[in-house]
Structure 1
Amino acid sequence: MNFGPPLTTRETPAQRAQGELILGFKRLGAVTKIDTLFQQGALKARLPRPQDPTLCEAVTLNISGGVAGGDALDTMVTLAPGAQLALASQAAERIYRTPGPAARIRTRLIVQEGARLDYLPQETILFDRFALDRELDIDLQGDAEFVGVETLLFGRQAMGEIVQSGSLRDRIRLRHDGRLVFQDATRLEGGIAAQLQRRTVADGARAVAGLIIAGPEAAHKLDSLRAVLNAAPGIVAGASAFDNMIFARLLAPDGASLRQCLISALEACRERRKLPRVWQG
């Protein structure tokens, strides 16, 4: 009987999702129209019929079904002078566990003078042993206006999930006429569950959000925003105004209560403009 050398098998490398989305919008008379649309890979965009004829709506989609280690997603959105846009995501983004490199997400938003952007992605859900490296850069020019929100959920509480460990690097930068006026950086590594229990981190909260309001009249919205935040049950929040902008941090025990509070806050600081339909379900 002859014995040959053992067969060797090669591990097939995991497929990595890549996506690039470039959107541009311009003002034509009283309405905003899309001017540039480039989509490649996992990132797509849809333009639903607007609820307000003067405010264009765009919805982004990640057709890969979630984000895993090694994925790379890049989005750039530009608003020409006078354009008005509400930009939302179709659904919550899921960041899955990975034994390998971090998922990389980069978003750049350019809002030229006289334009207004409502940046309203839905929640980002982090799963146990996730790894995420995310950056959001906002460039405002002149009297541009901006309202934006980013929400992180550490596991799905209704499913009994607990994020014991993971890696998070999350950075938000806002520039006005090229000058850096705001930067917020979050880094959590290793024992996530234990760190969230610390009073100086999240004091046990499992849902966290940051809300930015920027523009010439932003500071005038501080009192009404604080009134909404203070009236929300179970929410711990604070808001400050500086350099023609407001930044608020919200902590909640679960995603549902945080979302309800955010809806009330967004309605108050967006002059009662209707939220995109994906937020109304």
Structure 2
Amino acid sequence: MTATQRTAADLERYDGALRVSVADGRLTDLHFTPPMRLFRPHGESGEPRTVVIANVAGGVVGGDRLSVSIGVGPGEALLATTQAAEKVYRSAGAEAELVNRFSVAEGAELEMLSSGTILFDGARLARSTEIDVAAGGRAAYAETVVFGRIARGEVFATGALRDRIRLRRDGRLLWADDFALADDIQGLTAARAGLDGARALSTLLLVGAGASAAVGIARDLPALEQVRVGVSALSEDLVVMRVLARDAAAGRTVLGDLWSASRAAWLDRPARMPVIWSV
């Protein structure tokens, strides 16, 4: 039987999970099941402990269920990123499910920078992200969704996306976001009141004391024809940034600029992206 003759029932489905915590100066509670893996590169000078999350299956198909759970203990710091953009392939009908849970204790810092998610035409994805930051903790979270395989000239025209984010402070809900695309996806992405023709959407959340220092960084960015940036300081310690890009590569560059400058101003860290982003 050739690859093109295989049916949905023939394809392997994964129920994979990755769990890791940082406590007492080391990684603890480390557990992962295929296809999830965790890599621990040597940290660069001036950087906290760094981990790289990977899906070694090479992508996500309908019916897959994958989860990532990261906990940062009191006084600890962690920089987490992903090995590559997650590819969500065309589905024969089943929905793929991704679940993320991040917890940050008092006096701890977590930077979670995803390389993004690429939705192939026909993909069906439900993703849930839960972030809980204790009083005195700080967290930065960034994610990008690309609508189609841009290099192949493909657009995300059929399928479905449900993306849910819940941000809590000591268990109290501070910010909730639900984003969905289905049915007339091309009409929704083209509409002025929708994505206005954007091919990529990035979200950057900063929560913790001093987060509002990053607001001026977004407002001072030079205007770009292919990229729109919005920033809201919902409080002194909660900032939400959005990047809408008609050119996904340009949007990635802008997100990198925002991330780098924000972490320097807010966390007193080097104004740079993780090395793996340039590999």
Asked whether the two chains share a fold, i.e. TM above 0.5, the reply is yes
Q: State the match for 1:226 in structure 2.
A: 219
Matches within 5 A, 1:26-45: 26-28=23-25, 33-45=26-38
Contact 2:226/2:247, CA 8 A, preserved across alignment: no
- Cα deviation for residue 64 of structure 1 reads 1.2
Structure 1 window deviating more from structure 2 (166-175 vs 18-27): it is 18-27
- Between Structure 1 and Structure 2, whose CA radius of gyration is higher? 1
2:227 to 209, 223, 235: 235
Equivalent-residue separation in structure 1 for 2:113 and 2:143 (angstroms): 8
- Cα deviation for residue 237 of structure 1 reads 1.6
Contact 1:164/1:194, CA 8 A, preserved across alignment: no
1:104-149 Cα shifts (integer Å, max 9, x gaps): 0000000001111111010100001110000010000011111111
Equivalent pairs, count: 267
Q: State the match for 2:274 in structure 1.
A: 276
Q: 1:190 aligns to what SS in structure 2?
A: coil
- Cα deviation for residue 279 of structure 1 reads 1.5
Where structure 2 has 5 or more consecutive residues not aligned to the other structure, the ranges are 1-6
Q: 2:226 aligns to what SS in structure 1?
A: coil
Structure 2 residue 12 is matched with structure 1 residue 15: yes
Contact 1:237/1:250, CA 8 A, preserved across alignment: yes
Query: Identity percentage over the alignment?
Result: 34
Where structure 1 has 5 or more consecutive residues not aligned to the other structure, the ranges are 1-9
Equivalent-residue separation in structure 1 for 2:49 and 2:13 (angstroms): 32
Equivalent-residue separation in structure 2 for 1:27 and 1:225 (angstroms): 35
Structure 2 residue 156 is matched with structure 1 residue 163: yes
2:115 corresponds to which letter in structure 1? Answer: Q
Q: State the match for 2:3 in structure 1.
A: none
Equivalent-residue separation in structure 1 for 2:246 and 2:185 (angstroms): 15
Structure 2 residue 119 is matched with structure 1 residue 122: no
User: TM-score scaled to structure 2, two decimals?
Assistant: 0.91
Structure 2 residue 82 is matched with structure 1 residue 85: no
Matches within 5 A, 1:64-143: 64-143=57-136
- Cα deviation for residue 233 of structure 1 reads 4.7
